[in-house]
Structure 1
Amino acid sequence: MPLLRRSKGRAEGWLARVETLLEAERAQLPLWVPVALGAGICAWFALPTPQSWIAWVMAWLGIALAIGVIARGGRLAQVLAAASVLLAAGCLLVWAKAMLVGAPPLAHAAVVDLTAQVRSVDPLAARSLIRLDLSPVDRPDLPERVRVNAKPEEVPTGLVAGDRIAVRARLMPPAPQALPGGYDYAERAYFDGIGASGRALGSVQLVAASGGGPGLRERLAAHIATRLSGGEKAIAITLATGDQNGISEADAEAMRRSGLAHLLSISGLHVSALISGVIFLVYRLLALSQRLALHWPIILIAACAGAAAGIGYTLLTGAQVPTVRSCIAALLVIGGLALGREAISLRLIATGALFVMLFWPDAVVGPSFQMSFAAVTAIVALYEYPPARALFEPREESRLRRFARHGAVLLVTGLTVEIVLAPIALAHFHRAGLLGAGANMIAIPLTSFVVMPAEALALLLDVVGLGAPAWWVVGSALRLLLGVAHLVAAQPYATMAVPVGGDGAFVLTMAGFLWMMLWHGRVRWLGAPLAVIGLALTLTAPEADLLVTADGRHVALHMPGGGMALLRDRAGDYVRDALAEAAAYEGEFAALAETDGADCSPDLCEVILPVPATEPVHLLVTRSSLRLPWEDMVAACARADLAIADRLLPRGCTPRWIKLDRPVLSRMGGVLIMLKDRRVIGGRDPRDRHPWLVRASSPRF
């Protein structure tokens, strides 16, 4: 009994301390609303089956009900009950959207002749293709929206949205992830309403013209193309219209490696720069009139003009989710100014995140949502931290000291953002920039204060034919921007690459960062160990010895002497890039058939793979689509520890360790194999029943 009383006393003391902490941090509690709702959304993507989604919802609602029945009041009970309801609501929210607006994928690949209405025409300059977004006409057997790539010479000149065409095309279900940690186009296409994608087989025929000309975006892009040339032309078009398709692969890669790729996505930086510029210009013009300055709320009028400009820019650039998200945040800032409230705060960011989750819950698992909100949250949290605020606040000082302090502010802010964004970049792209903070110190001011104002002025002056000087400024500034990108990207330590790791390290890291950013008191530092452990696990993730794509056609393996070998040496650039990214490999792939220890015929490869401190592994892998004699295949399997095939292997094929044929690999979303531990890591749960997945049949031997 004394022991029981002491335990009860300790528990009551602990609860009292938690209640005191929550009371002191009560102003921060609403910031966790989008976090809990987002966690519920992520759970729907992570859990494999409808039964598990139902179990998740019922479990959290049951916890909320139990807390309501058992708890005797207090802020802790309220927080736990609210969090439980939000965790259940997030799962239900994205599940409801998937049922209501998702586009079921095409059941299987097919060659079809179709008549379709053109939704959009997008040139893909880097790939020398034109992407047609189509709505098939009178084809109930096809999805309502498909994408078809065609060569430029196969597409009628002047084709615009609204035209009706006829085309023969090979359509396929949108491709799921090919490797663990890879990009899942099928998931994105499902929520975007795209049910199939493919390639035109022959010329695209114009059946009926809509009578309309190019849209505003197309006309604006064409106009800019007449004023600039080279890489700066493509980036100027991107900043004005949001169309990135004209950027060359070399420039795009340089922007990515230098940490400047965010400048190519129309988001907070661009929308804020435009709105701020409009507000400043309108306010200054109105202030020229004494009557208006004294009797009219000119700051409110200027803010309304800026809001209108932001909405128009969002619509012009295609109203993509990142742009809409940034516009909403900017409108909230303007609303705060109009109401006399603090314009930028963590509550404002939480409100914007909550708004996006309610209308686009599927965006939560994408890198765009995560990076944009993580970056702005890190900046605001940094500026609210008292020591940082003391550095950032204006003061009486010499120009030299002010310039140095502003440079320090930019550097500290850039480093903070880089640290917070690194785990997101590593989780989605397996690569993060190391020199981005320095590059952004030049690129962000250059883009915000030179490029965008000068481009807007040039377009305005072109109305009266006087835009040439402004276009010279735009071109010069963009050449400088590209020069910085290529210079930084060329440095040997511009980026850091890590192999694919588990989701647990990413969740742990981001939980630690959120804990540090959303609390105010000393309790915030409890998140630091979580973030450090998560980053350490990410950076020390073991390299896989073998990587196998979901279709079983492509196998990459680390060779004993260093380097990597590829089963099919004629694999395209996309496959090579995906394998190199997943393996954090930056060299050239050798041909497996030409490496030591490999015995390859046109149909099969048998490879002896040495494994430290254990027996070598005998690998058998198919490398052609020809039908093989059953007896020979069974005998080869008996000699192998591991058999990999891009087809259904016969039942008699029984390798000593594991058999990975096309059906198994397709269900697992590709695999990573650690030979020493005899461990196989799949890209997804084989039980996965998310609605964008298609179960494909496989050929037999």
Structure 2
Amino acid sequence: MMAVTAGAAPSTRLPRLQIPPPVADAAIGPRIERWLEAERDQLPLWLPVALGGGIAAWFVLPDPRHWLATLSALAAIALAALTAGRGDRASRAIGIGAAVAMLGLGLAWWRAERVAAPVLARPAVVRVTGTIEQVEPLPARGLVRLTVAPFAMSGLPKRLRVNVDAAALPQGGAAGATVTLTARLMPPPAAAVPGAYDFARVAWFAGIGGTGRAFGPVAQRGGGDGGSWRAMLTRHITDRLEGSRGGIAAALATGDEGAITQDDSDAMRRAGLAHLLSVSGLHITAAVAATMLLVMRLLALWSWLALRVRLPLVAAAAGAAAAIGYTLLTGSQVPTIRSCVASLLVIGALALGRQAMTLRLVAAGAGVVLLIWPEALVGPSFQLSFAAIGAIVALHAHPRIAAAFLARDEPRWRQLVRSPASLLLTGFVVEAALLPIAVYHFHKAGLYGAIANLVAIPLTTFVVMPLEALALLCDLVGLGGPVWRLADGSLRFLLWLAHRVAALPGSATAIATVPTGAFAVCVLGGLWLALWRTPPRWLGVLPLVLGCGWILISPPPDLLVTGDGRHLAARTRDGLSILRDRAGDYTRAMLSETGGVDGEPAFLADSTAAHCTRDACVIALDRGGRRWRVLATRSPYPLPWPTLIAACRQADIVISERRLPRGCTPRWLKLDAPVLAETGGVAVTLATRRIVTVRQSGDAHPWLHPPVARPAAAVLYRPDGWRGRNIVTQCHGGGCRSRVTYRHDKTSPPTNASR
């Protein structure tokens, strides 16, 4: 009992609670939960990333067994996270992400099966009669590229892409017309070497089953009407402006780049300005902004309307119509449609009074595109577009950057400094974001692109495009001449800038084929850095550094062998040298790019490291502390078997376009026709004994094993009454060598002629 002293009031104070000092929570789970709670507004941005991850998994994994196993694993992860988890934010994020990745993988699989169409079984010369679906003029090369849908029962694939001499095509061709022509066709070629352009994959999703070149007369029936306005506008522009200037103006208006010469196109690419030539977000944004500004200013002059109608909504509707119309005018290509969708989302946000440019809008645009065209993920166009816009929005959403470049009441000279500084910083960030993508797909890295774009983008947006639009309007009343001269001058300056920047030392650095793993690590680091907002975002710098370091330390391949075995590039002490002196321009450029060489390759016959005859070359390469001997055949003529077998035994690697005898047993590697038919192109790094092939063992992607069409060979007639059927012997580098046997209707003997 508590004793109470007489005369003293009892105490009403409560005893003090002993609260232990706070102890830091060492458990990782609660920390992750608090972090995700702070980042809850950013979590939806990872939905298109998860969708893209599933799509990428379908392209990387080889066959249905792996696709089904991955779907099962993702389903198990999603169910475990959503049901067996603790119900916290981390579990829900993992479960939803796994479910969306399942959707991406299944969507890519379904899309690939849905577009399935027969592909030409073998190279052939055929007679084609069909409907023109698309016309792409290539004035700089004197060609017109036609996409033709052959008539049914012809035995041909459902869609062909054929280059035709412009002079041989009546009326220049028109979509919707019927055309009859004879063409040398071949199946869409796969990547010639690892890292090269894979047209077979692109053609599969485009439904193109054969490609080639037409020869002889071309008959056209019916004028057609689809695409005529676009073709007419392209011809109108190229008639007003000569050479590449007309080609660039046409590219800005209709998307046709065919009138741009190869020299000017290369200069634009080396200067980092090639993105100006393809209709994308920059061009559609300029068209939409100009339309909205013009509509707002004109309608505001009518006070009665301005007081009773919400003019921003009317301007937004006009801007949306301009975006859709510009997309239709430029051919409705996938990159343009993607930019149009993004523009419509921005216009919708403006109409609703929301912030126009946010990462959520960028993520929504990416999600829409991937849902409709999942194959776009692996193409450079999608990656470059969304990397650029994502980098811009993420940069200017940063509080410090937003505060630094916020418009304010200040002296004029500070405003003049602030705007160029903002453009320059944005340019550098965009170039850094695009660098891994450009290196992975194009094997080149530009150094001065940010500075060149600082001038070229405002010039194109605020000078070239408005002058071109004004000139086209003035042409309606026959007064466009002076405006066209101003547009011509601005385009001359743009080309001058491109050539000057391209000529600077180090304007473009060639980098050999980049490992896919290094590229994936860079992409993951960039996404982590851009999509989070709290300090853990800076952890994304680590994979970026690791990925870039991986790229830099990856040695270039010592040997590049094309899938047909005809072409070889070897890295000798004299530089990259190719086997055949008569290799085409495309083959030389492709081997140089994938081999990490900026410029023309040399010839092995001129190299001090090789000893060549007309039929074969023996190459000596010092790698990894030893000397490697490479034997490669370079003509279709057979070599004496005893001599060939003896040479094989003295070589470490033997490469040939034909089947070699079983007795040909090199010390390490044999790449002849049967082996290359399974592997496709091959890249070999001797120091590490690393071999990379275009095709992986068991790869079951549909464009590698497509259904085939077997058309009959074309019957060719000569004026003297002889007729013949064509037998194709070899096709490579876009051309075919064929033997035609002619036989007279009444008399024989036959004669042979090579074409």
- When normalised by structure 1's length, the TM-score is 0.95
Q: Which residue in the other structure is 1:101 paired with?
A: 115
Counterpart Cα distance in 1 of 2:519 and 2:696: 18
Cα distance change on mapping 1:295 and 1:214 into 2, 3 Å:
closer
Q: Which residue in the other structure is 1:121 paired with?
A: 135
Q: 2:134–2:227: 8 Å Cα contact kept in structure 1?
A: no
Q: How far is 1:307 from its partner?
A: 0.7
Counterpart Cα distance in 2 of 1:406 and 1:209: 54
Q: Secondary structure of 1:26's partner?
A: coil
State how 1:286-365 maps to structure 2 within 5 Å: 286-365=299-378
Counterpart Cα distance in 2 of 1:612 and 1:505: 23
Q: Which residue in the other structure is 2:210 paired with?
A: 196
Counterpart Cα distance in 2 of 1:459 and 1:210: 25
Deviations 1:327-382 (A, max 9, x none): 11111111111111111100000000000000011001111000100110110000
State how 1:550-589 maps to structure 2 within 5 Å: 550-560=563-573, 562-589=574-601
Q: How far is 1:51 from its partner?
A: 1.4
Counterpart Cα distance in 2 of 1:154 and 1:214: 20
Q: Which residue in the other structure is 2:441 paired with?
A: 428
Match of 1:529 among 542, 555, 562: 542
Q: Secondary structure of 2:216's partner?
A: coil
* One-letter amino acid of the counterpart of residue 61, structure 2: L
The farther-off stretch of 488-497 and 626-635 is 626-635
Counterpart Cα distance in 2 of 1:258 and 1:51: 45
Greater fraction helix: 1
Q: How far is 1:126 from its partner?
A: 3.5
Q: Secondary structure of 1:596's partner?
A: coil
Counterpart Cα distance in 1 of 2:604 and 2:100: 51
Cα distance change on mapping 1:698 and 1:157 into 2, 3 Å:
closer
Q: 2:592–2:600: 8 Å Cα contact kept in structure 1?
A: no
Q: How far is 1:387 from its partner?
A: 1.2
Q: Which residue in the other structure is 2:504 paired with?
A: 491
Give unmatched runs, 5+ long, in structure 1.
Answer: 1-8
Q: Which residue in the other structure is 1:453 paired with?
A: 466
Q: 2:243–2:259: 8 Å Cα contact kept in structure 1?
A: no
Q: Which residue in the other structure is 2:747 paired with?
A: none
Q: 1:648–1:698: 8 Å Cα contact kept in structure 2?
A: no
Q: Which residue in the other structure is 1:272 paired with?
A: 285
Q: Which residue in the other structure is 1:40 paired with?
A: 54
Q: Which residue in the other structure is 1:31 paired with?
A: 45
Counterpart Cα distance in 1 of 2:307 and 2:166: 59
The farther-off stretch of 446-455 and 633-642 is 633-642
Matched, 1:598 2:610: yes
Q: 1:123–1:131: 8 Å Cα contact kept in structure 2?
A: yes
Cα distance change on mapping 1:165 and 1:636 into 2, 3 Å:
same
Q: Which residue in the other structure is 2:623 paired with?
A: 611
Match of 2:686 among 629, 650, 675: 675
Q: 1:414–1:441: 8 Å Cα contact kept in structure 2?
A: yes
Counterpart Cα distance in 1 of 2:262 and 2:620: 38
Q: 2:63–2:700: 8 Å Cα contact kept in structure 1?
A: yes
Q: Secondary structure of 1:285's partner?
A: helix
Q: Which residue in the other structure is 1:6 paired with?
A: none
Deviations 1:194-253 (A, max 9, x none): 1100112322233x2246597000111122123222321111111110001111111111
Q: Secondary structure of 1:533's partner?
A: helix
Match of 2:515 among 482, 502, 515: 502
The farther-off stretch of 465-474 and 85-94 is 465-474
Match of 1:16 among 8, 30, 33: 30
Q: How far is 1:157 from its partner?
A: 4.0
The farther-off stretch of 403-412 and 79-88 is 79-88
Match of 1:51 among 58, 61, 65: 65
State how 1:223-262 maps to structure 2 within 5 Å: 223-262=236-275
Q: 1:44–1:94: 8 Å Cα contact kept in structure 2?
A: yes
Give unmatched runs, 5+ long, in structure 2.
Answer: 1-22, 709-727, 731-755
* One-letter amino acid of the counterpart of residue 191, structure 2: Q
Cα distance change on mapping 1:601 and 1:390 into 2, 3 Å:
same
The sequence identity of aligned pairs, in percent, is 50
Q: Which residue in the other structure is 2:104 paired with?
A: 90
Matched, 1:636 2:647: yes
Q: Secondary structure of 1:219's partner?
A: helix
Q: How far is 1:468 from its partner?
A: 2.4
Counterpart Cα distance in 2 of 1:420 and 1:524: 16
Cα distance change on mapping 1:524 and 1:129 into 2, 3 Å:
same
The farther-off stretch of 517-526 and 460-469 is 460-469
Q: Secondary structure of 1:27's partner?
A: coil
Q: 2:81–2:91: 8 Å Cα contact kept in structure 1?
A: yes
Q: Secondary structure of 2:554's partner?
A: coil
Q: How far is 1:399 from its partner?
A: 1.2
* One-letter amino acid of the counterpart of residue 275, structure 2: H
Match of 1:152 among 160, 166, 186: 166
Q: 1:647–1:698: 8 Å Cα contact kept in structure 2?
A: no
Q: Secondary structure of 1:571's partner?
A: coil
* One-letter amino acid of the counterpart of residue 113, structure 1: R
Counterpart Cα distance in 2 of 1:200 and 1:139: 21
Q: Secondary structure of 1:689's partner?
A: coil
Match of 2:230 among 201, 217, 225: 217
* One-letter amino acid of the counterpart of residue 601, structure 1: T
Q: How far is 1:694 from its partner?
A: 4.9
Counterpart Cα distance in 1 of 2:24 and 2:682: 48
Q: Which residue in the other structure is 2:696 paired with?
A: 685
* One-letter amino acid of the counterpart of residue 360, structure 2: R
Counterpart Cα distance in 1 of 2:365 and 2:585: 39
Q: Secondary structure of 1:203's partner?
A: strand
Counterpart Cα distance in 1 of 2:49 and 2:177: 44
* One-letter amino acid of the counterpart of residue 302, structure 2: S
Counterpart Cα distance in 2 of 1:289 and 1:163: 47
Counterpart Cα distance in 1 of 2:384 and 2:180: 41
Q: Which residue in the other structure is 1:624 paired with?
A: 635
Q: How far is 1:122 from its partner?
A: 2.2
Deviations 1:279-320 (A, max 9, x none): 000000011111111111111101101110110000010111
Larger Cα-atom Rg: 2
Q: How far is 1:587 from its partner?
A: 4.1
Q: 1:182–1:582: 8 Å Cα contact kept in structure 2?
A: yes
* One-letter amino acid of the counterpart of residue 605, structure 1: C
Counterpart Cα distance in 2 of 1:42 and 1:212: 39
Cα distance change on mapping 1:285 and 1:497 into 2, 3 Å:
same
* One-letter amino acid of the counterpart of residue 105, structure 1: V
Q: Which residue in the other structure is 1:4 paired with?
A: none
Counterpart Cα distance in 1 of 2:681 and 2:134: 33
What is the count of residue pairs matched by the alignment? 688
Q: 1:104–1:692: 8 Å Cα contact kept in structure 2?
A: no
Counterpart Cα distance in 1 of 2:665 and 2:277: 51
Q: Which residue in the other structure is 2:88 paired with?
A: 74
Counterpart Cα distance in 1 of 2:68 and 2:26: 35
- When normalised by structure 2's length, the TM-score is 0.88
Matched, 1:187 2:201: yes
Q: Secondary structure of 1:648's partner?
A: coil
Q: Which residue in the other structure is 1:141 paired with?
A: 155
State how 1:329-478 maps to structure 2 within 5 Å: 329-478=342-491
Q: Secondary structure of 1:401's partner?
A: helix
Counterpart Cα distance in 2 of 1:450 and 1:596: 53
Root mean square deviation, CA, Å: 2.0
Q: Which residue in the other structure is 1:5 paired with?
A: none
Deviations 1:594-619 (A, max 9, x none): 333433332222223233522x1121
Deviations 1:568-590 (A, max 9, x none): 01101101101110111124433
Deviations 1:101-142 (A, max 9, x none): 233321221221222222233222343322221111233521
